[in-house]
Amino acid sequence: MMFKIAIIGCGNMGMAFARSFLQYDLVSRENLLLVEKNKERCTILKSAKEGVVIHTVSPELKTYDLIILAVKPQDFDELATELKENIIDDQLILSIMAGITIKRIQERLDHNAVIRAMPNTPAMLGMGITGFTSAEGISIAKLFKVENLINATGRSIYLEDEKMLDAVTALSGSGPAYFYYFVKHMIEAGRKMGFDEGTAQLLVKQTMLGAYHLINNAELSLDELIAAVSSKGGTTEAALRIFNQNQLNDIIEEGILKAEMRSRELSGQ
Protein backbone atom coordinates (compact mmCIF):
# COMPACT_ATOMS: atom_id res chain seq x y z
CA MET A 1 0.00 0.00 0.00
CA MET A 2 1.29 3.45 -0.89
CA PHE A 3 2.38 5.75 1.93
CA LYS A 4 0.14 8.82 2.09
CA ILE A 5 1.44 12.18 3.31
CA ALA A 6 -0.47 15.32 4.28
CA ILE A 7 1.32 18.65 4.73
CA ILE A 8 -0.45 21.36 6.70
CA GLY A 9 0.95 24.83 5.94
CA CYS A 10 2.40 24.90 2.46
CA GLY A 11 4.71 27.91 2.64
CA ASN A 12 8.46 27.87 2.05
CA MET A 13 9.25 24.93 4.27
CA GLY A 14 6.14 22.84 3.70
CA MET A 15 6.66 23.03 -0.06
CA ALA A 16 10.42 22.41 0.22
CA PHE A 17 9.44 19.11 1.87
CA ALA A 18 6.64 18.37 -0.62
CA ARG A 19 8.84 18.98 -3.67
CA SER A 20 11.72 16.91 -2.29
CA PHE A 21 9.39 13.94 -1.68
CA LEU A 22 8.04 14.21 -5.22
CA GLN A 23 11.51 14.60 -6.69
CA TYR A 24 12.65 11.30 -5.19
CA ASP A 25 9.33 9.51 -5.86
CA LEU A 26 8.77 8.98 -2.14
CA VAL A 27 5.12 9.83 -2.62
CA SER A 28 2.84 10.21 -5.63
CA ARG A 29 0.93 13.42 -6.32
CA GLU A 30 -2.40 11.71 -5.65
CA ASN A 31 -1.13 10.53 -2.24
CA LEU A 32 0.16 13.95 -1.24
CA LEU A 33 -2.37 16.22 0.44
CA LEU A 34 -1.51 19.92 0.66
CA VAL A 35 -3.55 21.84 3.24
CA GLU A 36 -3.10 25.58 2.80
CA LYS A 37 -5.21 28.21 4.50
CA ASN A 38 -3.94 31.21 2.56
CA LYS A 39 -6.35 31.72 -0.38
CA GLU A 40 -3.78 33.10 -2.82
CA ARG A 41 -1.25 30.36 -2.10
CA CYS A 42 -4.01 27.79 -2.34
CA THR A 43 -4.90 28.96 -5.85
CA ILE A 44 -1.26 28.89 -6.94
CA LEU A 45 -0.81 25.41 -5.47
CA LYS A 46 -3.92 24.14 -7.24
CA SER A 47 -2.66 25.28 -10.62
CA ALA A 48 0.81 23.82 -9.95
CA LYS A 49 -0.78 20.35 -9.46
CA GLU A 50 1.93 19.18 -7.06
CA GLY A 51 -0.58 17.34 -4.92
CA VAL A 52 -4.22 17.29 -3.86
CA VAL A 53 -4.86 20.79 -2.51
CA ILE A 54 -7.45 21.66 0.13
CA HIS A 55 -8.11 24.85 2.00
CA THR A 56 -8.83 23.62 5.55
CA VAL A 57 -8.32 20.58 7.72
CA SER A 58 -11.00 17.98 6.95
CA PRO A 59 -11.91 14.37 7.93
CA GLU A 60 -10.11 13.02 4.83
CA LEU A 61 -6.88 13.64 6.80
CA LYS A 62 -7.68 10.43 8.69
CA THR A 63 -6.68 8.40 5.63
CA TYR A 64 -3.09 9.71 5.62
CA ASP A 65 -0.16 7.86 7.24
CA LEU A 66 1.94 10.92 8.02
CA ILE A 67 0.81 14.45 8.80
CA ILE A 68 3.45 17.16 8.60
CA LEU A 69 2.85 20.35 10.58
CA ALA A 70 4.53 23.24 8.78
CA VAL A 71 2.52 26.26 9.90
CA LYS A 72 4.17 29.10 11.82
CA PRO A 73 4.47 28.31 15.54
CA GLN A 74 1.97 31.05 16.44
CA ASP A 75 -0.66 29.37 14.22
CA PHE A 76 -0.35 26.00 15.95
CA ASP A 77 -2.92 26.45 18.72
CA GLU A 78 -5.66 27.41 16.28
CA LEU A 79 -4.71 24.55 13.98
CA ALA A 80 -4.61 22.05 16.88
CA THR A 81 -8.25 22.71 17.70
CA GLU A 82 -9.36 21.79 14.17
CA LEU A 83 -6.86 18.98 13.75
CA LYS A 84 -7.57 17.12 16.99
CA GLU A 85 -10.93 15.91 15.69
CA ASN A 86 -9.51 14.80 12.36
CA ILE A 87 -6.66 12.44 13.25
CA ILE A 88 -6.54 8.82 14.37
CA ASP A 89 -4.16 6.94 16.69
CA ASP A 90 -2.26 5.09 13.95
CA GLN A 91 -1.02 8.23 12.28
CA LEU A 92 2.40 9.79 12.64
CA ILE A 93 2.73 13.53 13.21
CA LEU A 94 5.94 15.22 12.07
CA SER A 95 6.32 18.81 13.24
CA ILE A 96 8.86 21.19 11.74
CA MET A 97 7.56 24.14 13.77
CA ALA A 98 10.31 25.95 15.67
CA GLY A 99 10.08 25.95 19.45
CA ILE A 100 6.99 23.78 19.97
CA THR A 101 7.85 20.80 22.15
CA ILE A 102 6.71 17.23 21.55
CA LYS A 103 4.88 17.33 24.87
CA ARG A 104 2.88 20.38 23.86
CA ILE A 105 1.95 18.86 20.50
CA GLN A 106 0.93 15.62 22.21
CA GLU A 107 -1.21 17.50 24.71
CA ARG A 108 -2.90 19.81 22.20
CA LEU A 109 -3.64 17.00 19.76
CA ASP A 110 -4.21 14.29 22.33
CA HIS A 111 -1.91 12.14 20.19
CA ASN A 112 1.21 10.21 21.16
CA ALA A 113 3.15 9.50 17.94
CA VAL A 114 4.95 12.81 17.41
CA ILE A 115 8.30 13.37 15.70
CA ARG A 116 9.86 16.82 15.86
CA ALA A 117 12.37 18.12 13.32
CA MET A 118 14.30 21.33 12.77
CA PRO A 119 15.31 21.79 9.12
CA ASN A 120 16.93 24.81 7.47
CA THR A 121 16.19 26.73 4.28
CA PRO A 122 18.75 25.01 2.00
CA ALA A 123 16.20 22.15 2.23
CA MET A 124 14.60 23.99 -0.72
CA LEU A 125 17.53 22.80 -2.85
CA GLY A 126 17.86 19.38 -1.26
CA MET A 127 20.92 20.68 0.63
CA GLY A 128 19.41 21.15 4.07
CA ILE A 129 20.44 19.69 7.39
CA THR A 130 17.72 18.60 9.80
CA GLY A 131 17.98 17.60 13.44
CA PHE A 132 15.11 15.43 14.60
CA THR A 133 13.90 13.59 17.65
CA SER A 134 10.85 11.57 18.53
CA ALA A 135 8.38 10.66 21.23
CA GLU A 136 8.76 7.26 22.86
CA GLY A 137 6.86 4.31 21.47
CA ILE A 138 7.35 4.95 17.75
CA SER A 139 8.70 1.87 15.96
CA ILE A 140 12.17 1.93 14.39
CA ALA A 141 10.56 1.07 11.04
CA LYS A 142 8.38 4.19 11.22
CA LEU A 143 11.32 6.34 12.32
CA PHE A 144 13.42 5.09 9.38
CA LYS A 145 10.55 5.87 7.04
CA VAL A 146 10.45 9.47 8.30
CA GLU A 147 14.25 9.72 8.23
CA ASN A 148 14.23 8.67 4.56
CA LEU A 149 11.68 11.36 3.82
CA ILE A 150 13.69 14.04 5.66
CA ASN A 151 16.83 12.96 3.81
CA ALA A 152 15.15 13.90 0.53
CA THR A 153 15.66 17.51 1.69
CA GLY A 154 19.37 17.01 2.47
CA ARG A 155 20.96 15.29 5.43
CA SER A 156 19.76 14.63 8.95
CA ILE A 157 20.85 13.73 12.44
CA TYR A 158 18.78 11.95 15.04
CA LEU A 159 19.04 13.44 18.54
CA GLU A 160 18.17 11.45 21.64
CA ASP A 161 17.64 14.59 23.70
CA GLU A 162 14.91 16.97 22.53
CA LYS A 163 16.67 19.88 24.27
CA MET A 164 19.45 19.67 21.66
CA LEU A 165 16.93 20.87 19.09
CA ASP A 166 17.43 24.36 20.57
CA ALA A 167 21.11 24.08 19.71
CA VAL A 168 20.25 22.80 16.22
CA THR A 169 17.92 25.77 15.80
CA ALA A 170 20.72 28.17 16.81
CA LEU A 171 23.45 26.51 14.75
CA SER A 172 21.98 25.16 11.52
CA GLY A 173 18.40 26.51 11.60
CA SER A 174 19.55 30.12 11.88
CA GLY A 175 22.98 29.35 10.42
CA PRO A 176 22.23 30.36 6.81
CA ALA A 177 21.49 33.92 8.04
CA TYR A 178 24.90 34.16 9.75
CA PHE A 179 26.54 33.10 6.51
CA TYR A 180 24.52 35.61 4.44
CA TYR A 181 25.47 38.34 6.92
CA PHE A 182 29.17 37.63 6.47
CA VAL A 183 28.84 37.39 2.68
CA LYS A 184 26.87 40.67 2.62
CA HIS A 185 29.55 42.57 4.50
CA MET A 186 32.37 41.10 2.43
CA ILE A 187 30.51 42.33 -0.68
CA GLU A 188 30.09 45.76 0.90
CA ALA A 189 33.85 45.89 1.58
CA GLY A 190 34.38 44.99 -2.09
CA ARG A 191 32.15 47.90 -3.13
CA LYS A 192 34.10 50.29 -0.89
CA MET A 193 37.30 49.20 -2.65
CA GLY A 194 35.80 50.18 -6.02
CA PHE A 195 34.16 47.03 -7.44
CA ASP A 196 30.68 47.17 -8.94
CA GLU A 197 28.06 45.00 -7.15
CA GLY A 198 28.23 42.14 -9.68
CA THR A 199 32.00 41.84 -9.56
CA ALA A 200 32.10 42.06 -5.77
CA GLN A 201 29.43 39.34 -5.58
CA LEU A 202 31.28 37.06 -7.96
CA LEU A 203 34.55 37.43 -6.03
CA VAL A 204 32.92 36.76 -2.67
CA LYS A 205 30.50 33.98 -3.66
CA GLN A 206 33.13 31.97 -5.54
CA THR A 207 35.54 32.46 -2.62
CA MET A 208 32.99 31.06 -0.16
CA LEU A 209 32.20 28.11 -2.43
CA GLY A 210 35.89 27.28 -3.00
CA ALA A 211 36.76 27.69 0.68
CA TYR A 212 33.83 25.45 1.67
CA HIS A 213 35.16 22.69 -0.59
CA LEU A 214 38.68 23.10 0.82
CA ILE A 215 37.31 22.61 4.34
CA ASN A 216 35.87 19.30 3.19
CA ASN A 217 38.71 18.12 0.96
CA ALA A 218 42.02 19.40 2.34
CA GLU A 219 43.44 17.31 5.16
CA LEU A 220 44.02 20.40 7.26
CA SER A 221 42.36 21.71 10.38
CA LEU A 222 40.55 25.05 10.24
CA ASP A 223 43.52 26.69 12.02
CA GLU A 224 45.91 25.20 9.45
CA LEU A 225 43.69 26.38 6.61
CA ILE A 226 43.69 29.89 8.10
CA ALA A 227 47.48 29.76 8.52
CA ALA A 228 47.86 28.64 4.89
CA VAL A 229 46.33 31.95 3.74
CA SER A 230 48.03 34.18 6.30
CA SER A 231 51.70 35.00 5.85
CA LYS A 232 53.50 36.94 8.54
CA GLY A 233 53.07 40.69 8.13
CA GLY A 234 50.74 40.09 5.17
CA THR A 235 47.25 41.15 4.17
CA THR A 236 45.20 38.31 5.69
CA GLU A 237 47.02 38.78 8.96
CA ALA A 238 46.12 42.49 8.90
CA ALA A 239 42.43 41.64 8.51
CA LEU A 240 42.48 38.89 11.14
CA ARG A 241 44.17 41.24 13.61
CA ILE A 242 41.22 43.63 13.33
CA PHE A 243 38.75 40.72 13.73
CA ASN A 244 40.58 39.53 16.85
CA GLN A 245 41.05 43.01 18.33
CA ASN A 246 37.28 43.46 18.11
CA GLN A 247 36.68 39.97 19.46
CA LEU A 248 34.69 38.89 16.46
CA ASN A 249 35.24 35.26 17.56
CA ASP A 250 33.52 35.94 20.89
CA ILE A 251 30.76 37.93 19.22
CA ILE A 252 29.94 35.05 16.86
CA GLU A 253 29.85 32.49 19.68
CA GLU A 254 27.86 34.81 21.94
CA GLY A 255 25.31 35.46 19.20
CA ILE A 256 24.77 31.76 18.56
CA LEU A 257 24.42 30.98 22.27
CA LYS A 258 21.89 33.79 22.52
CA ALA A 259 19.93 32.22 19.66
CA GLU A 260 19.90 28.93 21.58
CA MET A 261 18.64 30.71 24.69
CA ARG A 262 15.92 32.41 22.65
CA SER A 263 14.85 29.07 21.23
CA ARG A 264 14.53 27.71 24.78
CA GLU A 265 12.53 30.76 25.84
CA LEU A 266 10.17 30.38 22.87
CA SER A 267 9.53 26.74 23.70
CA GLY A 268 8.69 27.77 27.23
CA GLN A 269 11.49 25.83 28.96
List contacts with ligand NAP (CB under 6 A).
8-9, 11-14, 35-38, 41, 70-73, 75, 79, 96-98, 118-121, 173
Q: Which lies closer to ligand NAP via its Cβ, residue 80 or residue 135? A: 80
Q: Which lies closer to ligand NAP via its Cβ, residue 41 or residue 142? A: 41
Cβ contact 93:80 at 8 Å: no
- The CB-of-242 to ligand NAP minimum distance in angstroms stands at 31
Number of neighbours of residue 70 by Cβ within 10 angstroms: 23
Strand partners, 158: 132
Distance between CA atoms of 162 and 253, rounded to whole angstroms? 22
- The CB-of-252 to ligand NAP minimum distance in angstroms stands at 19
Separation in Å, CA 267 to CA 102, 187, 201: 10, 36, 38
Could you tell me which residues come within 8 angstroms of residue 169 by beta carbon, excluding any fewer than 6 positions away?
Answer: 98, 99, 118, 259, 260, 263
Q: Which lies closer to ligand NAP via its Cβ, residue 53 or residue 135? A: 53
- The CB-of-53 to ligand NAP minimum distance in angstroms stands at 11
Q: Which lies closer to ligand NAP via its Cβ, residue 6 or residue 204? A: 6
Q: Which lies closer to ligand NAP via its Cβ, residue 13 or residue 32? A: 13
3-state secondary structure of 132: strand
Going by C-alpha positions, the residue among 5, 55, 65 that lies closest to residue 30 is: 5
- The CB-of-233 to ligand NAP minimum distance in angstroms stands at 42
Strand order in the sheet with 52-54: 52-54, 32-35, 5-8, 66-69, 92-95, 114-118, 128-134, 154-158
Question: Which residue is closest to ligand NAP by CB?
Answer: 11
